[in-house]
Amino acid sequence: MSGIAGIIGPETGKVSSKLEATLSAMKSRGALTQSITVDGKYGSVALGSCSHQLEHSPKVSVERTSFAVDGSLPANLELEEIGGETGQKAFSESLREPGGFSVLGISEGRLLAGRDILGQKPLYYGRDPQGTVAFASLKAALSKLGISNPRTVPPGHLLAASTKRVTVLARETLSRFKELKIGEDQAAARTGELLLESLAEAVPEGYVTAFSGGLDSTLVGYAARENELGPELITVGLKGQPELEHARRVAKELGLEITVRELSQSEIMDRLREVVETVESTDSTLVGHSVPLFFVCEVAEEMGMGHLLVGQLSDELFAGYGRFEELALKHHFLEAKKEVLRSVRAAATNDFEPGDKLAVSHRLELQCPFAYLPLVDYALSIPISLKLRLTGNGVVRKYVLRRLAASWKLPESVVNRPKKAVQYSSGVQKVLLKEAKKRKMKLSDMLESLRSNS
């Protein structure tokens, strides 16, 4: 839960001042900064991080280790005491470590940049008009240096930057796994074991679960309860939405405490610009599902929590979107299998980056049990026929997860609940479309106007 930045350029003074400007532009990720500047054969390298006061830990000291990490520290880097330089090998080996992280480091006079294989933590880079190469957790921080179109560090990649070029040193990508020959009960049971395992690994105190009463969030809430974590739940939605009462009922059946935040139309519109600025996007779908999460994060921060559990990546792994159903109805199961992998690879941009920005801006660490790497690998090997089940009435999406929910004896209203995107179930999308119509604008144009006027 921090921001990281790195600069490499020909002049020490300018590199240090640019790093300072970059870190100051990431105050949403913390105002407490630390940095180091090293002169090397490729130019001067400045490396720094920012964090919120309460979470600052001397264990990850930029000055001592010459690397900066946003997120969970990869195990192979944790014990490094480098004092000025760090090895490329250690960085390369970290790419497939479980957990969400982005990492920057100084090695042999170059600036190294890496991201976990799923891309759970944001990291961008670009070259400014003076030829300086910069990396940062937020696009807005790079724009302060005159970098207008920053590029994304691809998930699972290790890049090396000198003053002349940026090269790829290593890459780890999610690949197609050979389908397992398993039945639905076995697949459901193993998926459940891995989901429970994901929450058994050092989930810290002080956390809540974003909850809708849908399949994914209920599985996460139940798994947390079974690990004796005593999860509290948060749900948000437009006042009067039936989904709010559904969430209350499911929480009661699970025996879990729930906080319900009812939103007004004016409240949604008053905070919309803040959402757009935080997620750094005007994509209408992305913003639509970010608005409810923004308010969940706000409630969690008000409760004094430090961590937020979410159900992200479930729909990608288990074929939960409407496009999967369309392919299944046409019996295009091979294409559906390929689309699962494409969707998982795209989750960094569509889910993790905006979710992380919203959480960190509210001093929260986003935790995604479905992004537990052993679970991801297993889910990608489950036959597509166990994710999309053809019936006389159509297609059952996320079939194996529904089997899991039934085996865990979750409420019937959860097991068979149709997928409904959060921007619709919360009533947010209706509010946004109504306001855009009132302004005689397309929704995308209205969102763009909010950003351009900020």
Domains of the chain plus CATH, in order, are 2-171 (3.60.20.10), 184-448 (3.40.50.620)
- What whole-number distance in Å separates Cα of residue 241 and Cα of residue 205? 31
Neighbouring-strand partners of residue 247:
none
- pLDDT, tens digit, 9 for 90 and up, residues 138-151: 999 999 999 989 99
Residue 185 pLDDT level (bands cut at 50, 70, 90)? very high
pLDDT of residue 83: 39
Average pLDDT over residues 287-302: 95
Mean pLDDT of the chain: 89
Q: Side by side, which strands form the sheet with 207-210? A: 258-263, 232-238, 207-210, 307-309, 365-367
CB 191, CB 401: distance < 8 Å:
yes
pLDDT of residue 202: 59
Tokens encoding 404 = 């899991």
> Is it the case that residue 100 has pLDDT exceeding 60?
yes
* pLDDT > 70 fraction of the chain, expressed in percent and rounded: 91
In this prediction the pTM is 0.92
Residue 98 pLDDT level (bands cut at 50, 70, 90)? confident
pLDDT of residue 310: 95
- What whole-number distance in Å separates Cα of residue 346 and Cα of residue 212? 23
Spatial CA neighbour of 385 closest among 405, 403, 399: 399
Q: Three-class SS string for 412-451? A: HHHHCCCCCCHHHHCCHHHHHHHHHHHCCCCHHHHHHHHH
Residue 131 pLDDT level (bands cut at 50, 70, 90)? confident
pLDDT of residue 79: 45
E strand residue ranges, 1-156: 2-9, 32-40, 43-51, 67-71, 101-107, 110-115, 124-127, 133-136, 151-152
β 166-171/157-161 pair status: antiparallel
Q: Which of the given ranges, 34-38, 80-84, 186-190, 419-423, has the highest pLDDT on average?
A: 186-190
Spatial CA neighbour of 112 closest among 155, 181, 66, 77: 66
- pLDDT, tens digit, 9 for 90 and up, residues 361-385: 999 999 999 999 999 999 999 999 9
pLDDT of residue 204: 67
Query: Which whole-number Å values give the CA distances from 63 to 92, 171, 179, in the listed order?
Result: 21, 27, 46
Neighbouring-strand partners of residue 36:
47
- pLDDT, tens digit, 9 for 90 and up, residues 302-352: 999 989 999 999 999 999 999 999 999 999 999 999 999 999 999 999 999
Crossing angle of helices 184-200 and 215-226, in 10° steps, is 60
- What whole-number distance in Å separates Cα of residue 207 and Cα of residue 254? 18
End-to-end CA distance of the chain: 25
Average pLDDT over residues 80-103: 70
Residue 13 pLDDT level (bands cut at 50, 70, 90)? confident
Residues 6+ apart with CB under 8 A from 173: 117, 155, 156, 345
Neighbour-count burial of 199, counting CB atoms closer than 10 A to its CB (0-12 exposed, 13-18 middle, 19+ buried):
buried
